[in-house]
Amino acid sequence: MPRSSATRPLRRMADPATADGGARSAAGSGSAARGPSITPVRMGVVDVPEVADLEREIFPDAWSVDSFLAEVERRNEIGLPLVVRERGALIAYAILWFIVDEVHLGNIAVRPDRQGTGIGKAFLRWILAEGRRRGMSLCTLEVRPSNVAARALYESFGFRQIAVRRRYYHDNREDALVLALALDPSAESRLG
């Protein structure tokens, strides 16, 4: 994931997110593969302190409160910050950016005590469906080579490595792998 968002464009508002979670990716096919039912909604200002607390718990190079506030202020065409709650408790969040025909997954995390229970997979399936619904051709993201769980998740959806950003992460100077998935068959050729 990119480790700062301060320079990116803006929005706000707590409209429920709209995609239905249907997916055409390998990991998303078939109802048996669906796992837990989740309902992502747009992150609002009120969510930010809790999201930032969870972010600090999870990431060594956590985004700041201000970075999340900037995401909440983005216009809907440019970015979509999301939270997933279960009986009011925050269990996951994600940040999406829409860049021409590309949806970039800027951040995604599941609460540690709920990791490994299918929430990440359901959330990513929902995100890819939202990208398709908006007419996006590609989904891209960065991931640490050492992040075995995240890489396995992305690979299960068919993401492929398209580049390496050397010494990308500030905390340990680890490289970032840039992964991409074609959301529409005509974009396959762009992945090399």
Q: Cα(180)–Cα(118) distance, rounded to whole angstroms? A: 21
148 binds ligand COA (CB under 6 A): yes
Q: Does 115 bind ligand COA (CB under 6 A)?
A: yes
CB of 183 to ligand COA, least distance (A): 18
Strand ranges (E), the chain: 41-42, 79-86, 89-99, 102-110, 138-143, 160-165, 176-182
Write down the least CB distance from residue 39 to ligand COA, Å.
15
# chain residues binding ligand COA, by CB under 6 A:
20
> Beta-carbon neighbour count of residue 51 at 10 Å?
24
Residues 72-111 that bind ligand COA (CB under 6 A): 108-110
- Distance between CA atoms of residues 65 and 176, nearest Å: 23
| Per-residue x/- track, 40-79, ligand COA (CB under 6 A) | ------------------x---------------------
Q: What's at 177, amino acid-wise?
A: L
CB of 65 to ligand COA, least distance (A): 18
Cα separations (Å) of 109 from 39, 44, 113? Answer: 15, 17, 12
The residues near 79 (Cβ < 8 Å, ≥ 6 apart) are: 8, 9, 10, 11, 71, 95, 96, 97, 98, 106
120 binds ligand COA (CB under 6 A): yes
Tell me: does residue 156 bind ligand COA (CB under 6 A): yes
Sole binder of ligand COA in the list 3, 121, 125, 132 (CB under 6 A): 121
| Part in contact with ligand COA (CB under 6 A); list of ranges 15-23, 129-137, 141-149, 163-171 | 141-149
CB 162 within 8 A of CB 178: yes
The footprint of ligand COA (CB under 6 A) covers: 1, 58, 108-110, 115-121, 143, 147-150, 152-153, 156
